[in-house]
Amino acid sequence: PTIGLAMGERGLISRILCAKFGGFLTFGALESGIHSAPGQPTLRDLLDLYNFRQIGPDTKVHGVIGNPIGHSKSPHLYNTAFKKAAFNGIYLPLLVDNVANFLNTYSSPDFTGYSYTIPHKMAGLECCDEVDPIAKAIGAISCVIKKPSDGKLIGYNVDYLGAIAAIEEGLGGSSSASNGSVSPLAGR
């Protein structure tokens, strides 16, 4: 038997997903800054952020694809939401150089959706089987869902919603979606 745990920021996925793929154990640092290997998560992150004890063969894998990625708050947001909703999923920071290579390597049905951040929003669009018309018009995606029926990757861009809301707020209006009023950007 072998226990394979990769090191560094790229190795985090192996340290967390080992529980999903039959790994016997992983290692966690007692506290931040005192690691026995580069990329080792803290015990607190393993247990609280990544809900390590609940990860198993049926856990669905999601993540944010970017480079750099260590600064992303998305794992905190999504893993907290997954836990509160009792959803059997994990959301990981994924340090990726080449989106196409990553998606080909991690193409199993276990990997079901991704968020995209800089610099991969345009490269991610090129890897999609289908692209939402708004994302196509923008020329970039911010998230991808893998269809369970056939594994096709469907790309969307939802960043524009936040941008429009911020612009509307700055113009003195409020989001028309929240109060039924007409957007100050209507017709522009």
Nearest to 141 by CA among 125, 161, 152: 125
Catalytically active residues, by annotation: 121
The reported pTM is 0.87
Q: Which residues are CB-neighbours of 119 under 8 A, at least 6 positions away? A: 66, 67
Q: Which amino acid is at 177?
A: A
- In the chain the domains, ranked by start, together with CATH numbers, are 1-57 (no CATH), 65-157 (3.40.50.10860)
Q: Check residue 172 and give its pLDDT.
A: 84
For the chain (188 residues), the mean pLDDT of every run of 10, in chain order, is 85 95 90 88 96 97 97 97 98 98 96 97 97 96 97 96 89 62 55
CB 5 within 8 A of CB 15: yes
**pLDDT for res 136:** 97
Q: What is the pLDDT of residue 175?
A: 52
Please tell me the predicted confidence (pLDDT) of residue 115: 98
